[in-house]
Every structure is written in structure tokens, then in C-alpha cells.
Amino acid sequence: MSIGGLDVTFTNSSLMMVIVVSLVVLFMSGGMRKNALVPGRWQMMVEMTYELVANMVKENVGKEGKAYFPFIFTLFMFVLGCNLLGMVPYSFTVTSHIIVTFALAAVVFVGVTLIGFFKHGFGFLKLFVPSGTPLWLLPLIVLIELVSYLVRPITLSVRLCANMLAGHLMMKIFAGFVVGLGSLGVLGVFGAVVPFTVNVLLTGLEFLVAALQAYVFAILTCIYLNDALHPSH
Amino acid sequence: MELEAAKAIGMGIAAIAMGGAGIGLGNIFGSYLNGALRNPSAAPKVRGDLLLGFALTEAIAIFALLVVVLILFVL
């Protein structure tokens, strides 16, 4: 299917994203359905994720960051949902595709840059000139700061994508060992216990990485936003 | 040199970068344990920073792994 020359086919990637978004909405609205003063278990989970991101924004951005909390919370929940749902066997890990994470990172980068220019005008460029730099070092420092600023969307997207990709790759390699050894007869089946154990442990590690990378993605967005709101450091 | 051999050597060289990430991760957790055992009451406060540092350092190792995978499958 294509509209105006653009390929807009509904792929399995799009389907997973729709599933993730509906599950997140279900999780949030279902937990807050009763809206009790003393929270139950489900409401407690919702409140804990809310407080995690709220504290992150408060500590890293400060009071002005409150206006951007919905954006960062949405980003965090989406990435977390994609990462965790990708751990279900035979499902599809959306965040292991560079184009998805790069689109997310590009939104963050363009948005943060625009916020910086709207809030401070050309004062935003003070971000590239750290205070207390000797004058003869200035051209070099400005260049380094500029490059490290422009490379942010790439590192942000590649970090998330490569982490998910490498983790799933590692699990599949060890699963391949299990199958390969298991087809060697009785002795091979006993040998296959070792890579199988490793694979179970790797699955646990992957769950940690899935949650951690969503957290890192959100916290780095906070740090970039802090740079835009308080450019003179 | 055969292309396959050059690829294999390149993959091996690219994987050396993971040694640096290993040193970094050891440094992070070693410093954390050092600080946490000296002052256990301050340990929960830095656990978030610990995990952030872990994820950022691990990402470097995974960049190296990505280079290896690129050589293996793409080049």
C-alpha cells in the first residue's frame, strides 16, 4: 500500500507498536480506574512508574521540567513496552530496528534544540562555550562541544537499538548451541544442559537490560532537556 | 590475503575494544562496592547512578559487538 509515493504498508512492526500502545493505555487507565486513596496492587504499579519518571524529571531538569513530564513519561512507557514485549517468544522487537529508535531520538533532538532556541534565543549557543575556558582553547572546545551535541541522536538511537539487537542475537546463538548439541545423541543432550542454563540466565539479563535501556533513554532525554533549559553551565 | 581471512582478523581486532569496556565495568562496580561498604547508608542513593553508568559503559561494548556483526554479515 502506498499513499503519494510513500510506502505506508501496515507491517508486523506497526502491529507490535499498536499492541504496545494499547497495552500501555490499558495498564495506566485500568490501574487508575478506581482511583482509590489507598492504592491496590495494580494502582500501586501505575503510581510507582509515574513516581519513577516524575522524580527523574525533577532531579535532572528541575522545576521547569514539569511541563515536559508527559512527553518523557510517554517515551519511557513506549520504549519499556516495546523492549519487554519483544522478550515474548515469537513476538517482534520493535526497538531492535534502527529506524524506529532513530525516529524517536530525532524527535528528542529536534524538539530539545527548538525548545532551547525558543527559551533563550541566541543565548542557547552559550551551551557550546563552557564558562571559565581559557581564550586560546576556545576554538577547539567549541568544536568538540558542537560535535558532541550533533552526534547525540546517533548515540541515543544506536545505544538502544544495539543493546536490544545484541541481546537477542546472543540468546539465539546459545539456543543454536542447545539444538546443535542436542542432535548429537545421548552425550550431546547432557552437554546441551550447559548452554541451556546460560540461555536461561541470559533471558534474565535481557529483562534487566530491557528495563534499564528504557530508563537510560528517558534519563538521557532529561539530561538533554536540562541542557536546553539551562544552557550556561 | 584472502577476503575471508581478512574479515576474520578484522572481527577479532574489533572485539579487542570489549576489553576496555570490561575494565570500565569492573571499575564502576568495584568503586560502588568500595563506597557502599564504607558507608552502607549512602548506598541506595547511588544505585540509580550505578545502573546508569553500567548501561552507558555496556553500550560501548555493544558498539564494538555491532562492528563485529557488521563485518560478519554486511561487509
Question: Least CB-CB distance to A212: which of B55, B62, B63?
Answer: B55
pLDDT for residue B58 = 83
Q: Which residue has the higher pLDDT, B32 or B44?
A: B32
The distance of B40 to chain A (nearest Cα, Å) reads 22
| Alpha-carbon span B10 to B2, nearest angstrom | 12
> CB A215 to CB B52 under 8 A?
yes
B63-70 long-range Cβ contacts below 8 angstroms, 24+ apart: B63/A158, B63/A162, B63/B17, B64/B14, B64/B15, B64/B17, B64/B18, B64/B21, B65/A162, B65/A166, B65/B15, B65/B18, B66/A158, B66/A162, B66/A165, B66/A166, B67/B14, B67/B17, B68/B11, B68/B14, B68/B15, B69/A165, B69/A166, B69/A169
Domains along chain B?
3-73 (1.20.20.10)
pLDDT for residue A233 = 59
pLDDT for residue A65 = 86
| Mean pLDDT value across residues A139-151 | 89
> CB B59 to CB A163 under 8 A?
yes
Per the prediction, chain A carries an average pLDDT of 89
State residue A6 phi and psi, 5-degree precision.
-95, 135
Question: Least CB-CB distance to B51: which of A163, A169, A212?
Answer: A212
Closest C-alpha among A97, A199, A218 to residue A158:
A97
Domain extent at residue A39: 2-229
Tally of structural domains, chain A: 1
Instruction: Please give the model's pTM, rounded to 2 decimal places.
Output: 0.85
Q: What is the pLDDT of residues A11-27, one digit of tens each?
A: 889 999 999 999 999 99
Indicate whether A73 pLDDT > 90: yes
